[in-house]
Amino acid sequence: MKNTLRAALLPLVLALAIPAAAAPAPPRAPAPAVTVKRIVEGIRAGNGAYAHLTRLCDDVGHRLSGSPQLEKAVEWAVATMRADGLENVRTEPVMVRRWIRGAESATLLEPRETPLHILGLGNSVGTPPEGVTAEVVLARSLADFEALGEKVKGRIVLFGNAMPAFDARKGTGYGETVGFRLRGPKMAAEKGAVGVLIRSVTAHSLGSPHTGVTLYGDSKVRIPGAALSVEDAELVARLIEGGRKVVVRLKMEARDAGEVPSANVIGELRGRELPDEFVVLGGHLDSWDVGQGAHDDGAGVVMAMEAVAALKRLDLRPRRTLRVVLWTNEENGGAGADQYAEDHRAELDRHVAAIESDMGGFKPRGFGVAMADKAAEARAVQSLGKLTALLKPLGATTVLPDMAGADVGALVEKGVPGMLLLVDESKYFDYHHSAADTLDKVDPAALTEATAAMAAMGWLLAETPARLDAAPAGKSARPAQGVKAAGGPAEKGKR
Amino acid sequence: MKNTLRAALLPLVLALAIPAAAAPAPPRAPAPAVTVKRIVEGIRAGNGAYAHLTRLCDDVGHRLSGSPQLEKAVEWAVATMRADGLENVRTEPVMVRRWIRGAESATLLEPRETPLHILGLGNSVGTPPEGVTAEVVLARSLADFEALGEKVKGRIVLFGNAMPAFDARKGTGYGETVGFRLRGPKMAAEKGAVGVLIRSVTAHSLGSPHTGVTLYGDSKVRIPGAALSVEDAELVARLIEGGRKVVVRLKMEARDAGEVPSANVIGELRGRELPDEFVVLGGHLDSWDVGQGAHDDGAGVVMAMEAVAALKRLDLRPRRTLRVVLWTNEENGGAGADQYAEDHRAELDRHVAAIESDMGGFKPRGFGVAMADKAAEARAVQSLGKLTALLKPLGATTVLPDMAGADVGALVEKGVPGMLLLVDESKYFDYHHSAADTLDKVDPAALTEATAAMAAMGWLLAETPARLDAAPAGKSARPAQGVKAAGGPAEKGKR
């Protein structure tokens, strides 16, 4: 492929007036399927993503926004991308809010005393030092919650809705289940509650609670929220449903430690013809403060890093620039995503696509795509259908509309085609935001296949002359910048 | 069936000289299959085992030997058996050693500081208040451990052998995995180690460690032992295997609080013809001090209680006495089992069989049987083959030799045919001895089927004129008391 590369660089070479006498006659570029095969084989041979993930998980561990571990992860990512030969490796400063969990506990006091397994919700306020002690009322649904009416006042509300088991047809059920984690504390505070417990958002539990962000919005009164393990949530729910009075004491030292500096980490493989057009491959470098953030989103981070490093190793320099972006603060703020969109606003019309992987390091299935302009999105779906046909050996041929990673949401709003790597998500939420999101849950072979899918798609998007959302003749390919995608694409991704 | 019962009681009635003029002509006893069907239908209609398990799990919770919760469980069992109409309901005192976990923690100090998820091993000694801090050495096998030699001295040993995933052909792999939990601290202390960590004995983990007893035997030097979650054990192992120096600080307040009173709980359905011959149905009332002891062994407890209560409800009084025995202290001593064998030594030759359920409340598969006299055991296997043929509607037709519950081991040593209810054990060790052994893991329908299998087998053993181990003509049916079963049957059960 050296020859091909040189041939592709020829116009540039000539323009720079470097003697070209020795250049061979330009050979025909290999068919895309040939290059994809080479990429897949190169990534399978390297197994580099898993090696990187091992270092991130074991040497750094989890890495919540503002923590020393996240800063260590930033340093690691910069050093690793440089060692892998990526270009323009750098950090871009982002201010993030630092939330600190502190010690936390919950105790069932009535009808009998026993400790409960909790994880405070991310961004939750803490309790007074003596805790919040109150009777617990149960809502398994929004209708239940509304029916409680005045009974919420002065009480702790347990949102006990259960996440269904994964269903290949219906999906994970996460989106339909997570609402009370996101908005339960706000909703309950508005009705006079003093605290909120949720049933951990997972369909399978072996005793560990699952955290995740809660959103107070503009609420003036903020009450603490925590996730119970499924086991303990079911215990409390059974007691209440059996007519018992349940009293719980919730103690949380959680606090907001203000704004602190963090960074997005960036590395590139510069395009040979259109270096100022970009295809972004990325994941988020931050994680929750439990487990190792292996699937969420260490996997996405190392896939993007290795996808581009492998192309570099294979001497495959695409037409456009491939840019690795490792966002900070996806889990509890999204400041990294917003800052990237702001810092790069002048070049967003030259962002051909931005793919995030944030559903774990599982076997790839295909890609989702979201655009603010739904007509353009429909065209992008069609274009992707042709490209993913080349990914059949990886099983990554599914293309879904209206779906992008949370960190590319801010780009989608500004007209960029945002994408999400689709994977086998049947086990993702078993580990998600819990002590179980660790390296041992990552199958190296699956991670390699997912990395190959990212690399091949990145290559195809950066190499194919036509843009993904190319308009029919006579129409603008992009809507005006700032058009907001219907439904809010960030909400459609996962958090 | 009232008539049948009366007919069966007739000899007794006549002997007591109560006017029998109104007694109808004795009808033929129904075929065993008819009675089994009636038992199964009666238990399916009642669903009483699950109702009892709910109360045990939710109102009492876990119940370690010597804890106030176990005493509460004893009271609950007595009251419940009385309310269910069982006869001779009583407690039999047992002195048990009380082990108290206290606060415990482990911290990875090198190569980076992070808390580890542990559960101290049952009966472990504690550490000094400042903890035990040492470099960790890894043994994934006995060969590894032996190869460590002098390197064990002054170190913490991590026994990192992994339990395989359940295999329908090979079984659970528990027996082959648990050795280092039982004997690791003793073995490591003999080589000069200062502490032991084990990889939790489970094939599937979502972040929670699994406890279980460790045995010091007659060791003079006792060192603390704790189970790491699989996730943390793999982290430490990967670091060591990658050449890193790993230092851990282990802090445990664990202590032996001496001997305290506890009790076995007993209830009966007296036999109509041979009330002084017994078939024991039982489980152990104690549990570890995590989760709810739902499968281990709340399920066995409620199965035995409900099996006999259902026969009572159905007016099915068998030829021999059915005796429910709820042993205390199975998990960390076996004092209840020993005491029962001692208290009832005069009637052990009239114990026709003793069945324990201690593999959880899963779908039944059949029964194991163990006898000290292996020729008699072979006969018992044959007899059981005929009886379990009647349990085909329950799928409980498997009969395995050389297998009995841990609490009937002491009876087996004294010549009693010991048995174990066999169930689908594919998930048992996922929950076993962990925070995940909770009511939500018990499928009410499976528990009902298992209860029906216990009830039907109990009925058949108590009703069938011939004993399970009936000898060919001219031979003694029982070996001399005190013959020890080869291999130690208690070791063959689970603990």
The answer to the question of residue A80 being in a domain is yes
Distance CA A332, CA B165 (A): 36
Among candidates A114, A206, A235 on the partner chain, residue whose Cβ is nearest the Cβ of B436: A206
The burial of B475, by beta-carbon neighbours within 10 Å (0-12 exposed, 13-18 middle, 19 or more buried), is given as: exposed
End-to-end CA gap in chain B: 41
Candidates B340, B368, B371; CA nearest to B457 is B368
Query: Does residue A19 lie in a domain region?
Result: no
When the pLDDT of each residue in chain A is averaged and rounded to a whole number, the result is: 92
Q: A330 to chain B, minimum CA–CA distance in Å?
A: 23
Choose among B57, B112, B434: nearest Cβ to A59. B112
Q: Which of A52, A108, A231, A246 to mutate to test the interface with B (most CBs of B within 10 A)?
A: A231
**Mean pLDDT throughout A87-109?**
98
Asked if B278 and B244 sit in the same domain, the reply is: no
Q: Which residues of A touch B (CB under 8 A)?
A: 54, 57-61, 111-112, 114, 117, 204-208, 229-231, 234-235, 238-239, 242, 291-292, 430-431, 434-436, 438-440
Please tell me the distance from the alpha carbon of residue B77 to that of residue B265, in angstroms, as a whole number: 7
Closest-CA residue of A relative to B428 is A206
| pLDDT given for residue A224 in this prediction | 98
> B58 and A242 in contact by Cβ < 8 A?
yes
Considering the domain architecture, whether residues A89 and A134 belong to the same structural domain is answered as no
What is the Cα–Cα distance from B118 to B134, expressed in whole angstroms?
Answer: 16
Q: pLDDT digits over A99-138, tens only?
A: 999 999 999 999 999 999 999 999 999 999 999 999 999 9
**What pLDDT shows up at residue A175?**
94
Report pLDDT for A25.
61
Report d(CA B335, CA B261) in Å as an integer: 11
Q: Is the pLDDT of residue A404 over 90?
A: yes
Among residues A253, A277, A297, the one where a domain terminates is A253
**Residue of A206, A239, A242 with shortest CB distance to B206:** A206
Strand partners, B170: none
Q: Where does the pLDDT of residue A475 fall: very low under 50, low under 70, confident under 90, or very high at 90 and above?
A: low
Which of the listed residues A200, A225, A253 is the one where a domain comes to its end?
A253
**Which residues of chain A have a CB within 8 Å of the CB of B54?**
238
Q: Which of A253, A285, A301 is the last residue of a domain?
A: A253
Same domain, A140 and A126: yes
B346 shares its domain with B465 = yes
Nearest to B231 among A54, A60, A436 (CB): A436
* A246 CB-near residues (< 8 Å, 6+ apart): A108, A110, A111, A135, A136, A236, A239, A240
pTM of the full structure: 0.91
What number of CA atoms fall less than 13 Å from residue B282's CA on the CB side?
A: 32
Quick one: pLDDT at residue B470? 84
Residue A3 forms part of a structural domain: no
Domain match, B140 and B13 both: no
In DSSP terms, A10 is beta-bridged to none
**Using omega within 30 degrees of 0 as the cis cutoff, is the peptide bond preceding B297 cis?**
yes
| Sign of the dihedral through C-alpha A395, A396, A400, A404 | positive
Nearest CA in chain A to B429: A206
Residue A4 has pLDDT above 90, yes or no: no
Number of domains in chain B: 3
Q: Are residues B430 and B470 in the same domain?
A: yes
Q: Which pair of tokens denotes residue A29?
A: 């570029």
Three-state secondary-structure class, residue B389: helix
Nearest chain B residue to A117, by CA: B435
**CA distance, residue A111 to nearest chain B CA (Å):** 8
Q: Looking at CA atoms only, how far is residue B424 from chain A in angstroms?
A: 19
Position A469 scores a pLDDT of: 83
Q: What is the pLDDT of residue A495?
A: 41
For position A276, what pLDDT does the model report? 98
What confidence score (pLDDT) does residue B25 get?
61
Do B298 and B165 share a domain, yes or no? Answer: no
Q: Which member of A54, A208, A292 has the closest CB to residue B206?
A: A208
Mark yes or no for CB contact A207/B436 under 8 Å.
Answer: yes
Q: What's the alpha-carbon Rg for chain A, to the nearest Å? A: 24
What pLDDT is attached to residue A28?
76
CA-based nearest residue in chain B for residue A51: B242
Q: How far is A343 from chain B (nearest CA, A)?
A: 34
Full DSSP string of A103-120: SEEEEEEESS-EEE-EEE
Q: What percent of chain B has pLDDT over 70?
A: 90
Rg (CA), chain B: 24
Could you tell me which of A116, A132, A114 has the C-alpha nearest to residue A124?
Answer: A132
Size of interface A-B (CB pairs under 8 A): 90
| Domain containing residue B145: CATH number | 3.50.30.30
Contact A238 B54 (CB under 8 A): yes
* Statement to judge: residues A231 and A336 lie in one domain: no
Under an 8 A CB cutoff, do B207 and A242 touch?
Answer: no
Catalytic residue among A104, A268, A330, A413: A330
Contact B291 A207 (CB under 8 A): yes
Q: Pick out chain B residues at pLDDT < 50.
A: 1-20, 479-495
Contact assignment for B58 to A239 by CB distance below 8 Å: yes
A192 shares its domain with A132: yes
Residue A487 has what pLDDT?
33
CATH code at A419? Answer: 3.40.630.10
For residue A113, is it within any domain?
Answer: yes
Lowest mean pLDDT among A6-10, A83-87, B148-152: A6-10
pLDDT at B486: 33
Domain shared by A82 and A107, yes or no: no
Q: Do A229 and B435 touch (CB under 8 A)?
A: yes
Q: Which neighbouring-strand residues pair with A364?
A: A423
Of the residues B60, B75, B119, B206, the best mutation for testing chain A's interface (the one with the most A CB atoms within 10 Å of its CB) is: B206
Residue A484 has pLDDT above 50, yes or no: no
The answer on A337 and A486 residing in a single domain is yes
Angle CA B77–B83–B84, to nearest 5: 90
Residues B263 and B318 in one domain: yes
Q: Closest Cα partner for B301 from B388, B367, B348, B360?
A: B360
Q: Is residue A412 one of the residues assigned to a domain?
A: yes
Residues of chain B in contact with residue A444, where contact means CB-CB under 8 angstroms, are none
Strand partners, A349: none
Q: What is the mean pLDDT of residues A398-420?
A: 97
- Cβ-nearest to A440 among B59, B230, B239: B230
| Contact (CB<8Å) A207/B204 | no
Closest CB from B61, B239, B439 relative to A58? B239
pLDDT of residue A490: 36
Rounded Cα distance, A472 and A148, in Å: 55
Mutate to test the interface with B, among A72, A108, A206 (most CBs of B within 10 A): A206
The mean of the pLDDT values for chain B is 92
Q: What distance in Å separates the CA atoms of residue A472 and residue A476, rounded to the nearest whole number? A: 8
Find the CB nearest A117 among B57, B59, B435: B435
Tokens at B38, concatenated:
């009636």
Residues of chain B with a CB closer than 8 angstroms to some CB in chain A = 54, 57-61, 111-112, 114, 117, 204-208, 229-231, 234-235, 238-239, 242, 291-292, 430-431, 434-436, 438-440
Q: In whole angstroms, give the CA distance from residue B376 to residue B476.
A: 10
Structure tokens at B164: 């395989």
Best residue in B231, B246, B429, B431 to probe A by mutation, most A CBs within 10 Å? B231
Nearest-Cα distance to chain B for A387, in Å, is: 37
CB contact under 8 A, B207 and A208: yes
Q: Which residues of A touch B435 (CB under 8 A)?
A: 117, 206-208, 229, 231
Decide if B439 contacts B51 (C-beta within 8 A).
Answer: no
Q: Is A176 a catalytic residue?
A: no
Contact residues for B415 (Cβ-Cβ < 8 A; gap 6+): B348, B349, B371, B372, B373, B478, B479, B480, B481, B483
Residue B420 or A8, more confident: B420
Residues of chain A found within 8 Å of residue B431, distances taken between Cβ atoms: 206
Residues 6+ apart with CB under 8 A from A239: A111, A246, B58
Confirm whether A312 is domain-assigned.
yes
Domain of residue B1 covers 1-30
Active-site residue, selected from the candidate residues B268, B306, B330, B377: B330
Closest CA–CA distance from residue B246 to any residue of chain A (Å): 12
